Each structure stands twice: as structure tokens, then as C-alpha cells.
Amino acid sequence: MILRPLKEPVAHLIIGTPENWSRHVLLWNLAADPQNGPHTNNDGRPLGSGAIMLDAETVVRNLAHYTAAHASRFVPPGSVRIASTAAPDALPHVAFLTPQKRPVLSIPTEQESTFSVRFQGKDATASLPAGAVARYVW
């Protein structure tokens, strides 16, 4: 199985949903059969399938698995969405505060990008290649 980059599902699900102040991000289902069922059409997006595919003794991790794993590695249960601001042409992003009171910023890129992040009066410049997903934790 060839996995598409995480940037699209992260931008759509992990950033887009909380960016609109949703309190939860849900996947359609946890496991799918070899025909990828049950599933939704979901406009052709890859997250309409399960996080894993089960076929007898075989388990295949799908893109939804890696998307959820990447997000949950840095944004544990109990984290809350916090406000973040940016210029109108800025990269999509979303910020969280973990239960340990650590801010986390998530950014996916469409193209190679160099940008600045300001937090508590301090600036940092970062560069990401096209199709990257990054999390910044303070």
C-alpha cells in the first residue's frame, strides 16, 4: 500500500475541525474489511476508510491510522484548542494546550515554506519541505 502524505488529512481533519472550534475529532470507523468497508464516500478523501484494514490474520495500517497517531502523539487526551492568530496568507495551523500546560502548534505545508512563529514575545523561524506536517511543542 502506498500512503499519501499526511498533509492533506492533517489539514482537513486534525487542523480544520478544531480550527472551527469543534471539541472532538472523529474517524468514521476504526477497522475496515479488505473491500474498505464500511466506508463513506467522503468526497474521495482517504479518511473515509478505517484506521486499519483486517483480513483474516493480516492487519494493515491505513492513512487514517497514521494521521490519528501523529496527532495523538503530540496532542494527548485532555488537550484543549487555544486561539492562534496569523496573517491572512499564512499556513493552515491550529494550537492546543496539553493537560501538562504545554502549547502545541500543528502546521502542514502544501509547498516548501519558511515561516515565523511568535510565542510569548519570542520569535522562531522554521522551514518545512512541501507536503510536511510539523508540530511545535513548548
What is the predicted pLDDT for the residue at 4?
53
Residue 50 belongs to domain spanning: 7-137
* Structure-derived torsion over alpha carbons of residues 53, 58, 59, 62, reported in degrees to the nearest 10: -50
Whole-angstrom distance, CA of residue 68 vs CA of residue 9:
9
Whole-angstrom distance, CA of residue 90 vs CA of residue 72:
24
Domain count, the chain: 1
User: Which domain CATH number covers 130?
Assistant: 2.60.40
pLDDT in tens, the chain (138 residues): 344 577 888 887 888 888 888 888 877 677 888 877 776 665 555 445 678 888 888 888 888 888 888 888 999 999 999 988 887 778 889 999 999 999 999 998 888 999 999 888 888 999 999 888 889 998
The set of cell numbers assigned to 138 is: 513548548
DSSP tag of 13:
I
Burial per residue of 19-58, b for 16 or more beta-carbon CB atoms within 10 angstroms, e otherwise: beeeeebebebeebeeeeeeeeeeeeebbbbbbebeeeee
What is the predicted pLDDT for the residue at 105?
93
Within a domain: 55: yes
Within a domain: 52: yes
Indicate the burial class of 136 (C-beta count within 10 angstroms; 0-12, 13-18, 19 or more).
Answer: middle
Within a domain: 1: no
Within a domain: 2: no
Within a domain: 63: yes
What is the predicted pLDDT for the residue at 47?
47
Within a domain: 27: yes
What is the predicted pLDDT for the residue at 1?
38
One-letter identity of residue 106: S
Within a domain: 72: yes
Q: What DSSP string describes 84-112?
A: ----TTPPP-EEEE-TTS-EEEEEE-SS-
